[in-house]
């Protein structure tokens, strides 16, 4: 639900309730299998080494990682296990085909897990070498307050509540829009038995 009466940024797509409960449940099962093979870990900020409040893992050929020594980047292996990331589940590839409007498949699916206190500061997704492809983002579990602004950090941002099953796309002119997660709302969903929120972000990393 949009909480302010302001047009959403150009190119930004908000698809509330895109996944029904049954589809969400199947997806959560698949993400549990991903997490079993590639455990959630605590990423740290470049230079400062400050831990992020969100825990992360990935599936796909490439995974987005960050740590104190080497900063933000994509790599082919899990930073703790050293193993290749598990593959992106078929239904996520199908969702990308349905919604992304981009000829090549995604190469990375970042899995973010938010507990009741986790949040994510305003940032741009700019570690990819292909900005013609959108970023496709799926929300599962508890509702969050998502902020979306413009392509300059100083641009005015607006808030959107993202609930389980909602999908947003940072596409076109909004591909490099600043965005973040201010907070989650504990107890707003029964999808995850221990609560919390999962966000899945599909991205194309390399040019075709
Ligand atoms: C992100 O920008 O990586 C996460 C966005 C979200 O959790 O909805
Ligand atoms: Fe992001």
pLDDT of residue 2: 56
Interaxial angle between packed helices 90-99 and 21-37, expressed in degrees from 0 to 180 and rounded to the nearest 10: 130
Domain count within the chain: 1
Q: What is the pTM of this model?
A: 0.96
Say if 97 falls within a structural domain. Answer: yes
pLDDT of residue 6: 75
Mutate to test the pocket of ligand 1, among 180, 200, 202 (most ligand atoms within 8 A of CB): 180
Among residues 58, 131, 138, the alpha carbon closest in space to that of 96 is found at 138
Q: Which residues contact 86 (CB under 8 A, 6 or more apart)?
A: 33, 34, 37, 38, 59
Q: Is 61 annotated as a binding residue?
A: no
pLDDT in tens, 22-71: 999 999 999 999 999 999 999 999 999 999 999 999 999 999 999 999 99
Mutate to test the pocket of ligand 1, among 112, 177, 202 (most ligand atoms within 8 A of CB): 112
Say if 208 falls within a structural domain. Answer: no
Question: In Å, how far from its chain's centre is CA 51?
Answer: 18
pLDDT of residue 5: 60
**Which has more confidence, 2 or 145?**
145
Query: Tokens 């930004």 sit at which residue?
Result: 12
Say if 199 falls within a structural domain. Answer: yes
Torsion angle of alpha carbons 147, 23, 188, 140, nearest 10°? -40
Say if 142 falls within a structural domain. Answer: yes
In this predicted structure, the answer to whether residue 4 has a pLDDT above a threshold of 80 is no
Say if 117 falls within a structural domain. Answer: yes
pLDDT of residue 104: 98
Averaged pLDDT for residues 5-22: 92
Going by CA atoms, what residue is nearest to atom 3 of ligand 1?
201
Say if 123 falls within a structural domain. Answer: yes
pLDDT of residue 1: 57
pLDDT in tens, 87-138: 999 999 999 999 999 999 999 999 999 999 999 999 999 999 999 999 999 9
Ligand nearest to the CA of 126: 2
DSSP summary character for residue 172: G
CATH code of the domain containing 128:
2.60.120.590
Could you count the other beta carbons within 10 Å of the beta carbon of residue 77? 15
pLDDT of residue 7: 82
Owning domain of residue 91: 5-203
pLDDT of residue 166: 99
């Amino acid at each position: 639900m949009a909480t302010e009466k302001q047009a959403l940024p150009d190119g930004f797509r908000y698809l509330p309730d895109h996944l029904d409960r049954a589809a969400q449940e199947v997806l959560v099962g698949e993400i549990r299998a991903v997490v079993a093979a590639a455990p959630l870990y605590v990423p740290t900020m470049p230079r400062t080494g400050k831990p992020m409040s969100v825990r992360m893992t990935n599936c796909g050929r490439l995974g987005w990682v960050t740590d104190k020594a080497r900063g933000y980047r994509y790599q082919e292996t899990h930073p703790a296990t050293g193993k290749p990331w598990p593959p992106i589940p078929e239904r996520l590839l199908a969702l990308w085909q349905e919604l992304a409007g981009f000829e090549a498949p995604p190469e990375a699916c970042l899995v973010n897990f938010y507990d009741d206190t986790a949040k994510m500061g305003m940032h741009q997704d700019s570690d990819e070498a292909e900005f013609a492809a959108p970023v496709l983002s799926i929300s599962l579990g508890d509702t969050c307050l998502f902020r979306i602004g413009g392509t300059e950090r100083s641009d005015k941002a607006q808030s959107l509540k993202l609930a389980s099953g909602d999908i947003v796309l940072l596409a076109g002119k909004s591909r490099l829009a600043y965005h973040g997660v201010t907070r989650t709302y504990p107890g707003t969903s029964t999808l995850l038995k221990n609560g919390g929120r999962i966000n899945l972000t599909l991205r194309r990393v390399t040019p075709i």
